[in-house]
Chains A and B, each alone.
Chain A
Amino acid sequence: MLATTLAKDNWVGSFLGAVFVLVVGLVAGIAIAEWINAMPAESTPPVVAHRSPGAEPASWELFAFILRRNMTVFLILLLGVLSAGLVTIVVLLGNGLAVGQLIGFARTSGMSHVDVAYLLLPHGVLELGALCVAGAVGLRGIGLAFGVSAVDRRAFESLRLGTVLVFGLVALATAAFVEAFVTVEIAESLSGRW
């Protein structure tokens, strides 16, 4: 039954479309980071951290912060339904670019591929997966925009926004928990290596 529903509404195609856009952003982000690193270095003043020592947020504070920010992105991705998928494409590309640049700069600063994977994969798979689910809903806005005169209540009901929102909240809460409690520990244990 679930497979029939997924096939009927072409959810798999929309999800793969969202993954594709994210991967394009990711590759572009890595390329930009490598391009910037290949530039001749000029004398630049040292960046001063404007943070008092010992002011690091507690894990629960960090969890709440990450969850709130990711839920905001999740909801903005859903706005693609109203903008012919435009917001979804741009936000997915932007997030891909940000993560790609992070990976690129980490690699050029001497971090190994395994360490980058340790830091990103535990929470990243769930977090980016949830964002791609929201992206799949947002991309369906393209179809809605082309048939705008035929848009009715049933077209919005087929988006299953309630299910998507509950899934997003659970998935992003789990990802934020892993990031705040596990990834931070991994980062601290790796900090001496590079």
Chain B
Amino acid sequence: MVKWLERLAKLALLPVLVWFAGLAAFAVIGIDGLFAGPNPVFVIARVTAYVTVVMVAAVTTAFVAAFGLACGAMLNWLGESLDPRQIVATMSRSFWCLAAYVWLGVASLILDPPVALTVFEMSEPDALEVRVAETTAFAWMGRLRYLALIGFLATSFWLLARRTRPLNALLAVSFGVAALAAVLTGLGLLSGPSLVP
């Protein structure tokens, strides 16, 4: 058992798996708590919400990979010789911060589960936003998201600085952040606002 746990701890992708398990638990408690009931309206809402969560998970993985690629490109340009596998392992281990963040959310949802929406509330345009704002867990997750992001970046820097010069690691992380911000801003500007006023 101990040997098995030791092997598991050495697995580079373990933090990503822990994060994904937390996200799945958070989604199940949150979505099933908000949209409870056999009414087709709730079924459609649950299906849509689950598909959205899976998309968010996949896109987050891709953005972290883009961040890692940018970091690797900058380190390569600065003359550091880092194997792509080491970049993947660094990005993966930085996921511990995101994993802690989502599991904190799971714990707070268990302590204070959301109150289910009624069929009549579902027809109101802003009922979901109001209910999300009223739920302590969702409100705190919103406030703590920047802290989780800072933790992720600090861990990435710390892990990179162990293998490269600290200044180069700092430049690589800064370039990664700038590249990711550019990608996110570009996609945001491209998708634009909704046509519905």
A76-B43 contact, Cβ under 8 Å, with A42-B119, A68-B192: no
Q: A137-150 interface mask toward B, CB cutoff 8 Å, 1 = contact, 0 = none?
A: 00000000000110
B62 to A80, Cβ gap below 8 A?
yes
B86 and chain A: residue at smallest CB distance: A149
A45-B123 contact, Cβ under 8 Å, with A82-B69, A148-B88: yes
**Interface residues of A toward B: which range?**
35 or more
Residue in B39, B62, B119 whose CB lies within 8 Å of A82: B62
Least distance between B60 CB and chain A CB atoms (Å)? 9
B43 to A51, Cβ gap below 8 A?
no
Q: A17-42 interface mask toward B, CB cutoff 8 Å, 1 = contact, 0 = none?
A: 00000000000000010001101011
A151: Cβ under 8 A from any B Cβ: yes
Q: B99-127 interface mask toward A, CB cutoff 8 Å, 1 = contact, 0 = none?
A: 00000000000000000000110010100
List residues 62-86 of chain B with CB under 8 A from any CB of chain A: 62-63, 65-66, 69, 83-85
B123 and chain A: residue at smallest CB distance: A45
A36 to B44, Cβ gap below 8 A?
yes
A75-B58 contact, Cβ under 8 Å, with A44-B39, A149-B85: no
**Residues from chain B with Cβ under 8 Å of A37 in the complex:** 40
**Residues from chain A with Cβ under 8 Å of B197 in the complex:** 51-52, 55
**Residues from chain A with Cβ under 8 Å of B57 in the complex:** 90
Q: A74-118 interface mask toward B, CB cutoff 8 Å, 1 = contact, 0 = none?
A: 011001101100110111011001000000000000000000000
Q: State which of A57-65, A127-135, A160-168 sits at the interface with chain B.
A: A57-65
Prevailing SS type, chain B contact patch: helix
B61: Cβ under 8 A from any A Cβ: yes
Pairs of residues from A and B, 3 with the lowest C-beta to C-beta distance, nearest first? A83-B62, A82-B65, A79-B62
Offer 18 A-B interface pairs, CB within 8 angstroms, sorted by A.
Answer: A37-B40, A39-B40, A42-B39, A46-B123, A50-B125, A50-B196, A55-B197, A69-B191, A76-B59, A79-B59, A82-B65, A83-B65, A86-B61, A87-B58, A90-B55, A93-B51, A149-B83, A149-B84
Residues of A that sit less than 8 Å from B by CB: 32, 36-37, 39, 41-48, 50-52, 55, 57, 61-62, 65, 68-69, 71-72, 75-76, 79-80, 82-83, 86-87, 89-91, 93-94, 97, 148-149, 151
Kindly list 11 other residue pairs between chains A and B, CB separation below 8 angstroms, not including A50-B196, A68-B190.
A43-B119, A44-B39, A51-B196, A83-B65, A86-B62, A87-B62, A90-B57, A90-B58, A148-B88, A149-B84, A151-B84
Residues of B that sit less than 8 Å from A by CB: 38-41, 43-44, 47, 51, 54-55, 57-59, 61-63, 65-66, 69, 83-85, 88, 119-120, 123, 125, 187, 190-192, 195-197
